[in-house]
Amino acid sequence: MNPRKKSTIGLKIISILLAVLLWYYVVNQGELTARPDSVEVALEYHNLAEGLSIDAPDKVTVKLWGSFKEPGQIKAFVDLTGLDKGDFRLPVNVEPVKGTMLTTVNPDIVNVTLQEISEHRVPVNYEITRDPLPGYQLLDIVTVPDHCIIKGEEEIVSQVKSVVSPVDLSNIIDTSSFSTRLTAVDAQGNYINGNIRIVPEKVTVYVVVAEKRAAKKVPVKPLITGKAEEGYQVQNIIVEPELINLLGSENRIGKITSLGTEEINLAGKKETFNQEIAVQIPENSRVAPATVKVTVEIVKIDNNEVEE
């Protein structure tokens, strides 16, 4: 062999090795070592036509040689440009990552099914997850909107009977509004977690919670002050009606055993009299009737009784 030719081949090999080493140095910012890494990354689907849903793998494994900081730098995708509904076998693409050389992607071809999106209008129902506090009750509840649209594969969309809004009433004691996320359910009330979209995803719930109301009859006890004229005394006090209706919160009126009246002063009285007097009404309650007739019977003290 020609010595000159042999020498030229050797120089070429050395040049190639130096070029590779220089490439590693540049792309790895001075690091002359590199290693292969297998990373599982999310598989994206680009250019999906409007009105179509997709059923396909969501991850692939990419093997790279070189240096990279985060798996998030690796972007794997399938291009769906121009595709209509149907079944396809499509190649997986990986965007170049600075400082690495791609070796393999597994799988490099994926099965993709494209289907027309079906729409179904369903009512919004509510589900009470926690009841109101003791002594309180739900008076009304409204969701806005009261219907929503289910979009997705026809096979799954057709199973949706309604959507449910969870409602927690445990901390509400008056009128309130809040936003909740919707969940699709079938005719048996089972949750549906398939590839569907709920539009809108959330609704505003308006609720009215109030104290439970109760009614009962209670006696009236007149408030008597002062004393009758000297030589006279009260013989009897008659209240008409004896019992009145009390209406109020269950918690409050449950502890009330009687109701008082406004003051009736006996000072200077020496004969029977009657008076229309107002009943004292507990806070946030009502009574019927609001007034009662009180008759105070006053008699003269018998001197014989006094002597005895």
> Which two tokens mark 205?
């719930």
Q: 118-211 and 213-307: same fold? A: yes
Q: What pTM, to 2 d.p., does this model score?
A: 0.49
Extents of the domains making up the chain: 34-115, 118-211, 213-307
Indicate the CATH number for domain 34-115: 2.170.120.30
User: CB of 279 within 8 A of CB of 243?
Assistant: no
Question: From first to last of its 308 residues, what are the pLDDT tens digits of the chain?
Answer: 444 445 566 666 666 656 655 555 544 444 434 445 688 889 999 998 887 878 889 999 988 776 655 666 788 999 999 998 889 999 999 888 776 676 788 999 999 988 877 778 889 999 999 999 988 899 999 999 999 988 887 778 888 888 999 999 999 989 999 999 999 998 888 888 777 888 999 999 999 998 888 899 999 999 999 988 988 999 999 999 999 999 988 888 888 999 999 999 999 888 999 999 999 998 888 999 999 999 999 999 876 554 44
> How many C-alpha atoms does 176 have within 13 Å on its Cβ side?
15
Amino acid at 178: F
Q: Contact, 40 vs 58, CB < 8 A?
A: no
- Fold entry, domain 213-307: RNA Polymerase Alpha Subunit; Chain A, domain 2 (2.170.120)
Residue carrying structure tokens 């809004």: 165
Return the pLDDT at 39. Answer: 84
Q: For residues 94 and 103, what is the distance between their CA atoms, to the nearest angstrom?
A: 11
- Range 118-211 has CATH code 3.30.590.10: no
